[in-house]
Structure 1
Amino acid sequence: MTWRVFLLIPWLVSALPALAGTEAPQRPPRTGHARALTLDEAIDLAFAQNPDLAAAAARIGQAEAHVLEAEAAFYPKVTARMEYSYSNNPALAFSSIVAQRRFNFGMNINQPGWVSNFRPEVVGAMNLYRGGQDTALKKAAELGVEAAELERSALRNRLAAAVTAAYYAVLSAPKQAEVAHRSVETVAKALEHTRARVAEGMALKADVLSLEVRATEAYESELKAKNAMELSRSALKTLLGAGEIPEFREIDPGLPKPEADFGKLLDEALNQRPEMQAAARQVQMREQELEAAQGAHRPRVDAYASYGQNSRSPGDFSFNNDNGSIGLSAEVDVFSGGAVSARIQAAERRIVEAQAIQERTRLEIEDEVRQAHLTLNETLQRLKVAEAGTDSAEEALRLVHEQYRGGTATVTRYLEAETDHANAALRAILARYETRVAEAQLRKALGHWR
């Protein structure tokens, strides 16, 4: 009876830590009377409330902010500043006197004395050319936004599959508990009948003991089944991000009919899976970062302009003393100690790394599709066998029960038939819901919920 009764529950609990729109999802208003949800409604609820998706939306916002930061390099930079100096250095003092429009030929240029100079100033600068670095960094940032959006799509795909598994675990748990309860009742009736026969001298005390052991096992299985019901609901609550555990109603969509051609499935997965597209974006990002690093070898050209005025004290400001300047500057790094070359080499290695990750992602997707396809076909076959076995086990138990009550079957044979019936019923329940979960896993492998 301890056969894998609760197969769906451990799978679900172990899968929970792996789950983690351009706008943060909004929580729908909650009402006092929750109606029963279908699977599609449960998935939509998870998309609206799961905190991992909210975190993914925040990461998209961060990526968009990086784009704005990269675009800022194409706009002028304007700075306002105030300077004060007090010096008797002939060069500095003389330049301050000239800027303040106070020079006369009677001054001793070599001994100007201490000179105060206040200068409020507005300075503007604009990058005209940086070897393509700014353009490459902007493209890399835009690819980063696309990668973040694809990562959110991948999370949605994984979340929907996990919700599906949890949903069917919640639906199957009460049915497993019902089977366990029926087993308890069946053994209890047999135990009562056997005790009566022992009292009449028609059965052995050992038969009662055997049935008592079986009753204990059946009761233990019922307790586990009831606990599994709570575990499955708690797991689904975590995935939905809900404060309350809603009720669910099952809609039977019929048995799935998987595509027989694995090649078609693989092509569909490679074209649809967001993980594959995100890996491609990562390669493109690294290529743009390499372009930016190589741009450091090229010249840089900047334009600048400034406007301000000089005076001996803040109270002496006058537009008669204003002055300004404009100009261009060009520079190129002749030698930087190998820093630029090192950055280029690092960027090249990051491209190789991204390409390797892209290939690994492709292999993982191929393996996931193959396993999901094989598992679905296996569960469909097991479902047919399990349903046929349930009918046989139920009829066998009925016959053995009549024989046992008539005294023509031993208690050992009765226990075997009852155990076979309980296990067959559980196998049928698990096979049906495992088929649904396997179908969801294949959909996830194909990127159905991206």
Structure 2
Amino acid sequence: MNLRANERLSERIMPRPHRRFIFSTLLLCTWLFIAGCAVDQKAEVDLYRRVLDGRVAATQPYVEGESLTLVRAMTLANQHNEQLGLRGEDYLQSLIAKNRAVANFLPTVSFQPSFTIEQRARDGAPSGSTGSNTTASGGSYQDSGKISYRTEAPIVGSMNLFRGGGDIANLQSADANIERQRLLLLDAQSTILLNVAQVYLQVLRSERAVEVLRNSVSLQEARLKDVKDQFANQLATKLAVAQTQAQVNGTRATLLQAQSDVRNGRHTLALLVGVDTINGKLSEQSVTDAVSDPKHTLTDYEQMALDRREDFAAARAAVVSARAQVDAAFAQYYPSVSLNVAGFLYREFYADASKWNAVLLANVPIFSAGVIEADVRSAWSRLRQAMLNESFVRRQVLNDVRTAFENLDAADRKTAEFEQQVQAAKEALDQARAAFANQLAINLDVLVAQDQVLNSELQLTGVRFDRAVFLLDLTRAIGVLPEVTMQAATRPATLPGLP
């Protein structure tokens, strides 16, 4: 009995045809909602991957134990470094923001079915009968006992016709922000590539130091054995043995530190490249070996940097975007006009009801409690920030160029001096050994000469790798590191000249 009573009550509130219509409508809306929410994640990521891969080509995954060149390490970092992915998502979000800005120019259409139920009006149809009831607003209701209900299924469209030019300003700001995010993405790419190159060359430098120190330890251990033999034959003093032993121990400690530097450097390189470990051989054929420097003047390099550096171009794009936001804020003072249109697929007493309606709305701001003024002031403040940032980035770019140029020039001059120092230290060591063999010098003289050779070779190795880093710093400073890197991978590259 309770089930039958509930069925009769539900039939009085909403007859079966209405229930079927509402259920079908809701099912259709749910299907459309689910279909609209589907997003192709790979296509989204490809939007910023195309920007990155446009300058540094994609590469195959790293195979553990493979020999790794600098170009290969840089391309792996471009492919797998998470920092580039984070910057890429910022670029993607700027593209989405433009789609939102474009949407302000387009109409919106929605399906808005509704079912209204209320207590039956006292001045409606006679109690206990089934008929129609019309409200003061003209909407028709269906009566069922003490209940009145109405079902409507309109398609509603709305469109902003004019908003004081604010939509245009927002679109211009979105375009400028897209360019800014694209340039920041490329700037992050150049920074990551430079970091990879610096760590890669530092590992090579440490490995070369390990090689030099191992050779030195071998020579010093042989020297220690010789001194001990001489001491056993009473041809050397105990002091000479102690001095030689101390030098061997000191060199071994330096060797251990250099070996630790190699391991730590490889860990850092793996982090930048985006792999777990790098245990293969690193090739000493670096990008810098295939890059020639045409020796432009400092002024030439400064002009290249201002023309090519992505971070400076991004700062200028930020100024354009902020200026457009000022226009958008001012647009709030102007009147706005919008149009709303509704067409009904179903209404109670559809034959007698209106099939459609349209409303033209105008809005003239008179008093906004200072909200618009605050928006305008904030927009001006952001514009001033963008202009200050542009000025600072410009000076920073010029400082980077000057520093890299000076470091490279100093490294060239130091390399020549250290080469001569190594040659002189080796000649001094040969003379010290000959003098000691002829009892014209003491063992300390030989040890000092050996130490000078070791230090000179380590300094020469360091300055050569420093020069390679400074050359890469210069290519980064003028904004051409990715292009030079990829060109050097296939053929000798030259730092570009002025257009």
Q: Confirm or deny that 1:294 pairs with 2:333.
A: no
Q: Is the 8 A contact 1:86 1:117 kept in 2?
A: no
Q: Measured at CA, do residues 57 and 98 of structure 1 come closer, stay the same or move farther in structure 2, by a change above 3 Å?
A: closer
1:249 aligns with 2:283: yes
Residues 97 and 294 (structure 1 numbering): CA distance in 2 closer, same or farther, change over 3 Å? Answer: closer
Measure the CA separation in 2 of the matches of 1:415 and 1:255: 40
Query: Does the alignment pair 1:449 with 2:478?
Result: no
Summarize deviations over 1:216-243 as a string: whole Å, max 9, x none.
Answer: 1011011112112212222222222134
Deviation per CA, 1:50-90, whole angstroms, max 9, x where unpaired? 22222222222111111111111111112222141425679
Give the secondary-structure state (helix, strand or coil) at the position aligned to 2:235. Answer: coil
State whether structure 2 residue 218 is matched by structure 1 residue 185.
yes
**Aligned mate of 1:356, from 382, 388, 393:** 388
Displacement of 1:427 after TM fit?
A: 0.8
What letter is aligned with 1:399?
Q
Counterpart position of 2:316: 280
- The one-letter amino acid of 2:232's match is A
For residues 206-225 of structure 1, what are the alpha-carbon distances to aligned partners after superposition, in whole Å with 9 as ceiling and x for unaligned? 22111111111011011112
Once the two structures are superposed, the pairs formed by residues 365-380 of structure 1 within 5 Å of their partners are 365-380=397-412
**Equivalent in the alignment of 1:202:** 235
Match of 1:61 among 92, 98, 119: 92
What does 1:51-450 align with in structure 2 at a 5 Å threshold?
A: 51-81=82-112, 82-86=114-118, 94-95=134-135, 98-100=138-140, 115-245=148-278, 246-251=280-285, 253=289, 256-257=292-293, 259-308=295-344, 309-311=346-348, 318-449=350-481
The one-letter code of the counterpart of 1:388 is: Q
In the TM superposition, residue 116 of structure 1 has moved relative to its aligned partner by 3.4
Residues in 1 aligned to 2:331 and 2:122: alpha-carbon distance in whole angstroms: 43
Map of 1:5 onto structure 2: none
In the TM superposition, residue 401 of structure 1 has moved relative to its aligned partner by 2.1
Change (3 A) 1:426 1:256: farther
Helix, strand or coil at the partner of 1:126: strand
Offset, 1:100: 2.2
> Shift of residue 322 of structure 1?
4.9
- 1:13-32 to structure 2, matched below 5 A, reads 22-24=47-49, 28-30=59-61
Deviation at 1:101, TM superposition (A): 8.4
Q: Please say if residues 36 and 249 of structure 1, whose CA atoms lie closer than 8 Å, have aligned partners that are also in contact.
A: yes
CA separation of 1:90/1:284 partners in 2, compared to 1, >3 Å: closer, same or farther? farther
TM-score, structure 2 as length reference: 0.77
Separation in 2, partners of 1:90, 1:327: 32
Rounded Cα–Cα distance in structure 2 between residues aligned with 1:445 and 1:89: 80
Give the CA deviation at 1:204.
1.7
Matching residue's letter, 2:398: E
Partners of 2:60 and 2:309 in 1: CA distance = 32
Letter in 1 for 2:139: A
Mapped partners of 2:291, 2:135: distance in 1:
90
Taking only the aligned residue pairs, the percentage that are identical comes to 22
In structure 1, runs of 5+ residues without a counterpart are: 1-20, 104-112, 312-316
1:339 Cα shift? 0.7
Deviations 1:274-294 (A, max 9, x none): 001000010011011111110
Q: 1:90 to 1:122 in 2, by over 3 A?
A: farther
Equivalent residues of 2:341, 2:359 under 8 A apart? yes
* Mapped partners of 2:272, 2:62: distance in 1: 20
Structure 2 runs not aligned, ≥5 long: 1-45, 125-132, 483-499
For 1:181 and 1:74, the matched residues in 2 are separated by: 72
Q: Amino acid of the residue matched to residue 85 of structure 2?
A: A
SS in 1 for 2:48: coil
Distance in structure 2 (CA, Å) of the matches to 1:85 and 1:259: 85
Q: Per the alignment, in what secondary structure is the counterpart of residue 355 of structure 2?
A: strand
Shift in alpha-carbon separation, 1:94–1:254, aligned structure 2, 3 A: closer
CA distance in structure 2 between the partners assigned to 1:97 and 1:359 by the alignment:
62
- Residue 22 of structure 1: SS of its match in structure 2? helix
Whether the aligned pair in 1 keeps the contact of 2:78 and 2:189 (CA below 8 Å) is yes
Q: CA deviation at 1:267?
A: 0.7
The CA deviation at 1:409 is 1.6
Is the CA contact 2:339–2:361 (under 8 Å) kept in the aligned structure 1?
yes
Give 1:397's aligned amino acid. L
CA distance in 2, matches of 1:188, 1:359: 59
Match of 1:15 in 2: none
Contact kept, 8 Å, 2:102 with 2:171, in 1: the verdict is: yes
| Cα distance in 1, alignment partners of residues 238 and 257 from structure 2 | 29
Alignment partners' CA distance in 1, 2:179 and 2:123: 56
Would the aligned equivalents of 1:96 and 1:117 in 2 still touch at CA under 8 Å?
no
Residues 77, 126 of structure 1: 8 Å contact kept: yes
TM-superposed CA distance for 1:187, in Å, is 1.7
User: 8 Å contact 1:258–1:373 — kept in the other structure?
Assistant: no
Select between 236-245 and 33-42 the one with higher mean Cα deviation. 33-42
Contact map agreement 1:259 1:265 (CA 8 A) in 2? no
| C-alpha RMSD of matched pairs (Å) | 2.7
Q: 1:91 and 1:294 mapped to 2: Cα distance?
A: 52
Greater shift, 342-351 or 392-401, is seen at 392-401
Between the aligned partners of 2:64 and 2:158, the Cα distance in structure 1 is 63
Kindly provide the amino acid, as one letter, of the partner of residue 278 in structure 1: A
Cα 1:98–1:425 change in 2 (3 A) is closer
3-state SS of 1:302 partner: strand
Are 1:170 and 1:233, in contact at CA under 8 Å, matched by a contact in 2?
Answer: yes
What is the one-letter code of the residue matched to 1:23?
Y
Deviation, structure 1 residue 96: 6.2
